[in-house]
Chain A
Amino acid sequence: MLPLERLRRIVGAEHVLLAPEEMFAYECDALTWLRRRPAAVVLPGGTAETAEVVAALSEAALPFVARGAGTGLSGGALCPEGGVVIETARMKRLLSLDPWNRFALVECGTPNAEVSRAAEPHGLFFAPDPSSQNVCTIGGNIAENAGGPHTYKYGATARHVLALTAVLPDGRVLRTGSPLADPPGYDLAGLLVGTEGTCAIGTEATLKLTPLPRAVETLLFAFRGVADACSAVQRVISSGLEPCTMEVMDGATIAAVEASVNAAGYPRDAGAVLILEFDGGDAAVAESAERAERLCRELEVLACERARDRAHRLKLWKGRKGAFGAMGRLAPDLLVQDAVVPRSRLPEVVARVLEIGREHGIRMSNVLHAGDGNLHPNISYDRRDADETRRVLAACAGILQACVEAGGTLSGEHGIGLEKRDYMSLVFGEEDLERMRAVRDVMNGRSLLNPDKVLPAREPKTP
């Protein structure tokens, strides 16, 4: 039974939602083919309220899940059957910012980009930059160990979380990590990052801030096809150049972006574009950009452009970051797939992925964090069409299988969630999975928190 009165006392009646119509709005995150309506949604206003809410739910033995901005792409914030959503959208205060020691303490419902915005006057920024960074919350970034285009140079979220306050599934509050270098004891903050909200609910995070680079050069190359763009990526990397990001978009993506409000001026006749960016000291950046331009021009480049100024650079990026949303022009629903392969295998894997798409007769466009070997096949479909949905899911299975066979893995940054849970045995043995379950059980022994995500259920023991 829902401890309704108690929840209302903790967070205030207006922050406990129950009406079936309200539950409808919370039935999915950005992965719309997985839908489950919660029994209630609670919006706590801080760590203490979250802890009390969790304690109340735990005592009532009700399952629950934490949700930030609902921009996740693997169903991570999908509510457990008959459970409660703990929504962190009210917890968005910037608690402190220490420019000298280069860290910020924020509540976990804070949108990613707000941290960089607050740090900018001090010449600092928060490096992880998922495409949804204006919206997605720090809590969600931590849960998924989110990446983004600049992960290639700066690393994913795990490298930028110094300390964490988290509510354990019984309502106790864990404080772990420290902004000091190499704090003693087990690095539980490091352990929690990437557990996809199956071990604890992050409520406050101390984030590492990075000095803004003095100089940035952004180059845009247009190619006939994705394979050429991938060859350029290999060439740049093997020449010893160190770009901070290498993004590839295919022709279908270019068309959708150029039709949207985020039109970036990508050449519409190109089969692929590559965005290369260098950052650092003035001289080094200028020299690297020159060399990269020379190298790529030796290939069959259709066009090459260098961002003239900050405004032009932001425009080039806006197109890339709005690519997912721009697909709404193609079909009512979108599935953003996410897989990783060794970057040396990218050209052949991309070709295979396109082939799989054709085999299943689905509409696909591709975005790649090419430097990381991270593929994002975007599949446009209509979830009301059962046959098309089935073909989309079959294609996803084929894509994941192909990536794993090429020495890759199931996800680069979107997480496993519910979407890919049953593929985990493709990359992990039963013993590996069992150790992971054991870690989860230490934190979340009754499996009330986000119960059916990430790890497939134990295989039934044969007597």
Chain B
Amino acid sequence: MSDLAPRQIRSRADLIQYGRALDCVHCGLCLPACPTYDLLAREGTGPRGRVYLMRGLAEGEILPAATVLRDLDLCLVCRACEPVCPSGVRFGEMMEFCRAHILEPARPPGRGLRLRRFAARNIFNHPALLRALAAFFLLYDRLGLRRLLRTYGVLQYFSADLALRDAFLPRVPRWSERRRLPHRTPARGATRGRVALLEGCVAPFLLGRVNHATARVLSHQGFEVLVPRKHTCCGALSAHFGQLAAARAAALRTIDAFQALGPVDAVISNSAGCGAMMKDYGRLLEEAEGASAAEVRAAHGFAARVRDVTEFLVDQGIRPPPGRVEARVAYAAACHLAHAQRVTEAPLELLRAVPGLELVPLERADRCCGAGGLYNALHPRESLALLEARIQDLKRSGADTLATANPGCLLQWSAGIEREGLAVEVVHPVELFDRAMR
């Protein structure tokens, strides 16, 4: 294809990505799956249009101008377009590549950009920064600052977007829920194996209860649980921001930290986004320039052992729990579990294994809630519009509990439910199972 070689392709990785853009024949079957096309209706806010824009950028037909940045940034990377694409376009990878190599260098300089890059590179990799942020949120909440500002509409006075962002600010739980997991949790009953568990970067501060429930359930199910001593971020949020170098560094650190634990049957994640990232480490490093063959091999080997906690438990066979949980539960599929990892049945099976629990159908159960990594902080208006539609679906379902298997989604649904004043509890499926084990 020498005489057809397009412009602006400078590396092997470029070519790979470009080839993927050519998989798209513009049929449009992806459009109904796309939350932002549904909301915004512009061609550039749907997968077909975004692939076309990426192709245009690769071929030099268009420049990464403001509207291109806007429409490609508005993508949630929920990847709902992938399972419905008859051509098998690997949209998530294309978007990640495009953000890293085409959009990032084209961003207009300024304070916003510096802050964005600093956040993407550092926050999740430095526990001290995360602790400081958590402390700020805690004080903001506990000192009544949030209530004060909300009551008098102070933030609204400065900027409508700021007030919207406030709605998404997570509530920091009490200290007891922010305990880290022990390095080792022994198996209970007949031992079935040993697993390693990823605590995550944000989860220990905001959703420690989910980590504790996960460890308890694994232990009760006969698995010894090991947790790396050093805090690790899997790199998903950096990759999401197009900071591939930071993501790769995080990947290598994570692999090291887990290798130090010795041999395990599986690496478990209770976060859909982290699981999806870790399962993709092989490719992430393969496409990196400068990654050694040994690193790529290690990444593939590591990725092959990664399992979502629900997937793992169902694969191993669930030991029936002794207790009951009386709840009407709606399950909302996290995008990176359903679309990226294609794990759709396991969470439902885990919930069905809980005696007394009634699963109620949720309309558009695999539609994005608008969390999308830090989408709600970057695009509060769109995020809220997506969330509000989902909250209406939740109301119609008549559920008293909403289960979803990703930290971002748990926080997003909680924020939406609080705004709407609903009496619905938001939990990880594994927490419900945990309650039935007591």
Bound: A260/B32 CA distance, A: 19
Q: Are A333 and B25 in contact (CB under 8 A)?
A: yes
Q: Are B25 and A327 in contact (CB under 8 A)?
A: yes
Bound: A43/B45 CA distance, A: 13
Q: Are A19 and B25 in contact (CB under 8 A)?
A: no
Bound: A325/B84 CA distance, A: 10
Q: Are A26 and B43 in contact (CB under 8 A)?
A: yes
Q: Is B24 an interface residue (CB 8 A)?
A: yes
Bound: A113/B84 CA distance, A: 15
Task: Chain B residues near A327: list those with CB within 8 A.
Answer: 25, 87
* Nearest-neighbor residue (CB-CB) of A262 within chain B: B86
> Which B residues fall within an 8 A CB radius of A?
4, 6, 22-29, 31-32, 37, 41-44, 48-49, 52-53, 56, 61-63, 65-68, 71, 83-89
Q: How far is the CB of A404 from chain B (nearest CB, A)?
A: 27
- A43-89 at interface with B (beta carbon < 8 Å): 43, 69-71, 87, 89
Q: Is A445 an interface residue (CB 8 A)?
A: no
Q: Is A180 an interface residue (CB 8 A)?
A: no
Task: Chain B residues near A358: list those with CB within 8 A.
Answer: none
Contact among B22, B26, B41, B87 with A87 in the assembled complex (CB-CB below 8 Å): B41
Q: Are A325 and B85 in contact (CB under 8 A)?
A: yes
Q: Are A17 and B42 in contact (CB under 8 A)?
A: yes
Q: Are A69 and B53 in contact (CB under 8 A)?
A: no
| Contact bitstring A340-367, B, C-beta under 8 A = 1, else 0 | 0000000000000000000000000000
Q: A17-B42, A28-B26 are in contact. List 16 more A-B contacts (CB 8 A).
A: A21-B44, A21-B63, A22-B42, A22-B44, A24-B52, A25-B43, A30-B28, A89-B37, A132-B28, A134-B32, A135-B28, A135-B29, A135-B32, A325-B29, A325-B85, A328-B86
Take A25-B43, A384-B4 as given contacts and tell me if A325 and B63 are in contact as well, using a CB distance cutoff of 8 Å. no
Task: Chain A residues near B86: list those with CB within 8 A.
Answer: 257, 260-262, 322-326, 328
> Which A residues fall within an 8 A CB radius of B?
17, 19-22, 24-26, 28-30, 32, 41, 43, 69-71, 87, 89-90, 111, 113, 132, 134-136, 257, 260-262, 322-329, 332-334, 382, 384-385
> Could you list 17 examples of A-B contacts with CB < 8 Å?
A21-B44, A21-B53, A21-B62, A25-B43, A29-B26, A70-B43, A71-B28, A90-B41, A113-B32, A323-B86, A325-B27, A327-B87, A328-B27, A328-B87, A329-B87, A382-B22, A384-B4
Bound: A262/B86 CA distance, A: 6
Task: Chain B residues near A135: list those with CB within 8 A.
Answer: 28-29, 31-32
Give the 9 A-B residue pairs with the shortest CB-CB distance, closest first. Answer: A328-B87, A325-B86, A332-B22, A89-B41, A322-B86, A325-B27, A328-B25, A25-B43, A19-B67
Task: Chain A residues near B61: list those with CB within 8 A.
Answer: 24
Take A19-B66, A382-B4 as given contacts and tell me if A325 and B83 are in contact as well, using a CB distance cutoff of 8 Å. no
Q: Are B41 and A32 in contact (CB under 8 A)?
A: no
Q: Are B29 and A25 in contact (CB under 8 A)?
A: no
Q: Are B25 and A43 in contact (CB under 8 A)?
A: no
Contact among A90, A134, A329 with B29 in the assembled complex (CB-CB below 8 Å): A134
Count of chain A to chain B residue pairs whose CB atoms are closer than 8 Å in the complex: 119
Q: Are A20 and B28 in contact (CB under 8 A)?
A: no
Interface centre among B44, B85, B86, B89 (most CB of A within 10 A): B86
Bound: A426/B65 CA distance, A: 46
Interface centre among B23, B41, B49 (most CB of A within 10 A): B41
Interface centre among A20, A41, A43 (most CB of B within 10 A): A20
Q: How far is the CB of A380 from chain B (nearest CB, A)?
A: 8
Interface centre among B6, B26, B37 (most CB of A within 10 A): B26
Q: Are A30 and B27 in contact (CB under 8 A)?
A: yes
Contact among A90, A261, A324 with B25 in the assembled complex (CB-CB below 8 Å): A324
* Nearest-neighbor residue (CB-CB) of A45 within chain B: B41
Bound: A136/B31 CA distance, A: 10
Q: How far is the CB of B412 from chain A (nearest CB, A)?
A: 24
Q: Are A21 and B43 in contact (CB under 8 A)?
A: no
Q: Are A32 and B29 in contact (CB under 8 A)?
A: no
Q: How far is the CB of B40 from chain A (nearest CB, A)?
A: 9
Q: Are A24 and B62 in contact (CB under 8 A)?
A: yes
Bound: A384/B83 CA distance, A: 28
